[in-house]
Chain A
Amino acid sequence: MSAHELIRVVAFAASAICMGLGAVGSAVGIGIIGGKDIRGSSINPKQQGALLKTMLIAMAIASTTAIYALLVALLLLFLIGAV
């Protein structure tokens, strides 16, 4: 295996690891937010519409770190992996 191929293999593996491990934190966070929202709307069903809006924004902010991981994974895949 030449050095060029080795770099490509490592870049592909690194992008997979980056996306997989980077998604763990926001997956846990989104799960907690969804669970709390269900709890809140079952305690107070009249507030369901307002809670849904807040939940969507909170989920979007919790998924920001996973999006940074996706950015790094795409850079590895298409800049280093495609050389």
Chain B
Amino acid sequence: MNDVGLIATKTLFIPELNFKVTYNPQILLFSWVVILLIFGLGLFLIRAVKGAPSRRSALLETLYGSFSNMATEAMGADGRKFVPLVVTIFLFVLISNWLGVVPGLQSPTKDLNTCLALGFLVFVVAHTSAMRKKGLKSYLKGYFEPFFFFLPINIVGEFGKLVSHSFRLFGNIFAGAIIFALSGPVIIKTFNAIGLPTYSASPFILGALLISQAFFGLFVGTVQALVFALLALTYIAILREA
């Protein structure tokens, strides 16, 4: 995707193993920034939980408690062991989406590889937990429901879940990044086309950048992080309970 001019990739080639991997150094760097931010946030908030109730402990307990309620509603008392995973995914996606708002930093979720990795994680967790809970025989029997010739449709449906789950996050964040990158040049070209000088466009460019960052970065980022975490919980619950 070098055409867009947004993503710079590098290729690592190991001749002894005939192994080639293409990666994006910026996305790797900012993923580690997000991980360190979550780690710092955890260290900052966990001290408050040990002492008397305060604002910090209320924040952490609300976050954990709301996801814990949802998991218990969907899967019963069994669902509580998935709460740490879902809360971690929520925090990672939320902070990744919000990182793009800061000028000079980029969202790791702007790259499809990050989103596919998260979607694949949920896919593997959902299928292995369903296998362990129901046993291999009744897990495989679920693919032949309601009739035996539904097998290909069910298999395609499972991969469709994985694709739509990761592409939903990627599409929203990538579209926001493209609109943010395009809004400045489009306004300048419109002003030049009607004969106004370039400098008179600057307040409109500032406004467009602020509005697009507030909408696509903060609002869409929050909603998509919540949707990603809720869908992860729902996919795990559907496979375990159905």
Contact = CB atoms under 8 A, between A and B. Distances in A.
Interface of A: 53, 56-57, 59-60, 63-64, 67-68, 70-71, 78, 82
Contact of A53 (B160, B168, B171, B230): B230
Interface of A is mostly: helix
B168 A60 contact: yes
Given A78-B1, A78-B3, A82-B3, A67 B227 contact: no
A71 B168 contact: no
A60 B70 contact: no
Interface residues of B, number: 15
Nearest to A50: B73
Interface in B49-86: 70
A63 B223 CA distance: 14
Contacts of A60: 168, 227, 230-231
Contacts of B198: none
B163 interface: yes
B129 to A, nearest CB: 20
Contacts of B164: 64, 67-68
- Of B1, B70, B167, most buried by chain A (CB within 10 Å of CB) is B167
B227 A71 contact: no
Contact of A56 (B3, B163, B227): B227
B227 A57 contact: yes
Given A78-B1, A78-B3, A57 B167 contact: no
B212 interface: no
